[in-house]
Structure 1
């Protein structure tokens, strides 16, 4: 589950690695600390940003891209 945003609007910076993690999705994580950053299903423009990245994500709605 993550905070859904358009992949075109998601900007990653820093030591982030993105890899195809399964036949259906890709994941990204921070190389410095290992924290998960996002998940994206192949063929979808939407990405799910991990809610733990944001201090004030308590009121945001979680979604699952399928």
Structure 2
């Protein structure tokens, strides 16, 4: 077996309303398979950054640590 690739991730605290957390959970439960909150939120951020690319912002690749 090869050596595991080590990925460094930054951590942050996220403050959202209970209603927003419920909406996030409802959205991720509608997806096929099991998607963690972290993965769902990282994907949502990546989608927003991609949309904003036309505004001169640099998109970021989707990397989630589920």
TM-score w.r.t. the length of structure 1 is 0.31
- Higher Cα Rg: structure 1 or 2? 2
Query: Normalized per residue, which structure has more strand?
Result: 1
**TM-score, normalisation: structure 2:** 0.31
